[in-house]
Structure 1
Amino acid sequence: MTTVHHEPESNDASIEELLREVGARDEPSAEVARDVMSAVHAEWRDIVQQRQRQQRVVAWRYAAGLALAVLVSTFAYRFMASEQAQVASIVHGHVLASTEADTDPKVRAVGEIIRVGDIVQTEVQTRAAVSFPDGLSLRLDHGTRITVDASDRITLAAGAVYIDAPADGAGHGHALTVNTIAGSVQHVGTQYEVRTQGDAMLVSVREGRVVVTSPTSTNTGEAGQVLRLNTDGELTLSMLPSTDPYWQWTLQAAPTFDIDNQSLAAFLQWISRETGRQLVYSTPQAEAAAADVKLRGSIEGLDADAALAAVLSTTQLRRYRTDTHEIGIELAP
């Protein structure tokens, strides 16, 4: 038996036959074409506007976040900068202070702050003292003008400053540098004065040592010496004892020692440092008794010798005759 296979008609032939039956497609009218184009354009415009709104929201959120970050950073910077800029506080008298931005000097009194950038001055009849956080004291004589360049650096333009670091060494870490027209000074010890004098500076060392630097040399000043350095680099030396009346102004510029609830020993140590005299006890028993005595009251308005006499009169200790460079303390018989 013979099987006959019929080949399927090709797809191309089927498509041609279908097209002949359907005939040519009518072209849309111009009105329909316009409607279609309008609809497509409207849909496209809606899509574009929606994307633009999304982009604006994202951009706004980004800008808002950036602005908030900048605001927080600025606030933190200003807060931290203001904290870092505080150098010292006024503890005696008052000063006139200005800045480069605000050149009108304003009075600052006890308790107010000295900051980096301040231009500080005393009047012809006033003195003042400021205290640093580590205990270092800076006293300003009549007619003194300084600029606070940094927390550890000042420039002395006129007058005189007296630097006193604590005797226990706590202030030695504060390496304050005093710049002048002739050179700079930095302390190694604890007590000294820097004074302007025309085209020169005078550095008087009461206790410890100082390093005096000029563009051409570096010199060390010892206790009892006065170094005069001019703008030509010329250095001359003279002597000034720690008990010389010259130092009296530094005590007048110092804050009054609050004796209330302090030991007699602490008061005597303060008197010793302020007058430049060495404290000497006649016996260990006298020294122990001074440490045990607690004081009450005030020495406000009294000079050093009057305050010493008034305080000792309330205790079982007294002053005995010694060298003028010493304060001798003994137990009363």
Structure 2
Amino acid sequence: MKGTDKDIFEELFQHASARKRPPAEDEEAIREALHAQWRQSVRRRNWRRIIISTAAAASVALAVWIPMNLQRGPELQIPALQLATVDKALGDVLVHPIGGHPAHRPTLGTTLLTGQAIATASESWLGLRWEDGTSVRMDQNSEVRLTPKGEIELISGRLYTDTKGADPVGSTPVILTPAGPVMHLGTQYMTHVSGRVTRVSVREGQVTLGEPGDQAVASRGEQLIAEMSGTPRRDEIKVYGAFWDWTQGLAPTFVSDGRSIIEFLDWVGRESGHEVRFESPRAKRVAADTLLRGNVELQPMRALQVMLQTTDLVSEVNAGTIVVALRQ
């Protein structure tokens, strides 16, 4: 080779004349164009760094999240528990399910679950058979909620409870009121909530009102009246009459076929709050020996008038007592 590349370029530049500088405004435009191109290239590099960093961070987060959730497993969904079945539904009654599902009208045998709310309209009633066999009855214009713990929260209106025939080892309903929980000691009682006032009326047995350690006790023929704070006051009440009459329409059907009149009279007395008394020992023997046929689909006091018409017995109701005598 005759020379290096460096020698060749030196010889060329020795013969080249100085190039004329561009005008100042052109030079400034060229400089701005080059600077803009440089900024764009830097911006592309920065975005590439951000994207790579974000992707790396997401990969790390995903790598942490997957094993944590695999260890945790699926979240447990606590199933709703069955608390009661519908024994009677009269008029406009609505059950509001959990989860925002549409309300529906219950029919005979409908099951009620924790978390549901139930409302009765005017001239509407609902009779329930609790899981332990307790009879729970809702008066018209009443509203309750079944809590996740299986309690009955009485929001407004009246509830009647009869524990006869309930399983002693079963879960008897506790009624929550603004004045505290209502618990029974083997009884028939009515709970009424209206605004801030709670009333508990006892037909038979005993009930407690309030939290453990601060409870008031009511017995047969007594009513506790309590506001949200303060000591309940106590009144005397009758265990029969118009105050209780609405409960008879929701009484469980008396299966009378093959049962004695004395069993039927016991049912009438319990459902109406009347004491049954026999005019003579012979009248009581006839009631024990006479068997009935068919089922009683009438309200208790009305059934009393009808069922005895074909027997050797008659009845008379006077001041809370049903007197049964031989037909003359």
**TM-score, normalising length: structure 1:** 0.68
Match runs of 1:1-333 below 5 Å: 85-93=81-89, 95-150=93-148, 152-166=150-164, 170=167, 174-214=171-211, 217-297=214-294, 299-300=296-297, 302-319=298-315, 321=316, 323-333=318-328
Deviation of 1:313 (Å): 1.1
The structure-2 alpha-carbon separation of the partners of 1:171 and 1:138, relative to structure 1 and needing over 3 Å to count, comes to farther
Q: Is the 8 A contact 1:128 1:254 kept in 2?
A: no
Q: Distance in 2 between matches of 1:117 and 1:322?
A: 43
User: Secondary structure at 2:266's aligned position in 1?
Assistant: helix
**TM-score, normalising length: structure 2:** 0.69
Deviation of 1:149 (Å): 1.6
Deviation of 1:243 (Å): 1.4
Deviation of 1:289 (Å): 2.5
Q: Is the 8 A contact 1:172 1:190 kept in 2?
A: no
The structure-2 alpha-carbon separation of the partners of 1:123 and 1:222, relative to structure 1 and needing over 3 Å to count, comes to same
Q: Distance in 1 between matches of 2:87 and 2:143?
A: 17
Q: Is the 8 A contact 1:89 1:112 kept in 2?
A: yes
Letter in 1 for 2:323: G
Equivalenced residues, count: 254
The structure-2 alpha-carbon separation of the partners of 1:172 and 1:325, relative to structure 1 and needing over 3 Å to count, comes to farther
Percentage identity across paired residues of the two chains: 28
Q: Is the 8 A contact 2:144 2:154 kept in 1?
A: yes
Q: Is the 8 A contact 1:138 1:164 kept in 2?
A: yes
Letter in 1 for 2:250: A
The structure-2 alpha-carbon separation of the partners of 1:171 and 1:283, relative to structure 1 and needing over 3 Å to count, comes to farther
Structure 1 gaps, min length 5: 1-69
Q: Distance in 2 between matches of 1:195 and 1:112?
A: 25
User: Secondary structure at 2:98's aligned position in 1?
Assistant: coil
Q: Is the 8 A contact 2:209 2:216 kept in 1?
A: yes
Structure 2 gaps, min length 5: 1-72
The structure-2 alpha-carbon separation of the partners of 1:147 and 1:218, relative to structure 1 and needing over 3 Å to count, comes to same
Deviation of 1:225 (Å): 1.1
User: Secondary structure at 2:84's aligned position in 1?
Assistant: strand
